[in-house]
């Protein structure tokens, strides 16, 4: 299942969890995003 991780606002709405959110960019390429418990700047 793809997750909306392409823009900043969508990533802020994701819940913090240990397992990364993955989305497919092409048939051979996926990217993952893991939101931490604290904000880093």
Q: What is the distance between the alpha carbons of residues 26 and 8, in angstroms, rounded to a whole number?
A: 21
Q: Is the dihedral of CA 19, 25, 30, 33 positive or negative?
A: negative
Top-confidence residue, 35 or 24? 24
Per residue in 4-30, pLDDT tens?
777 788 888 888 888 888 888 889 998
Q: Structure pTM?
A: 0.61
Domain ranges for the chain, please list them: 1-34
Nearest residue to 20 (alpha-carbon basis) of 37, 35, 40, 8: 35
Please say if the pLDDT value at position 1 is more than 70. no
């Amino acid at each position: 299942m793809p997750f909306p991780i392409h823009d900043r606002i969508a990533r802020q709405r994701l819940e913090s969890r240990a397992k990364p959110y993955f989305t497919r960019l092409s048939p051979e390429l996926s990217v993952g995003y893991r939101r931490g418990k604290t904000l880093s700047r």
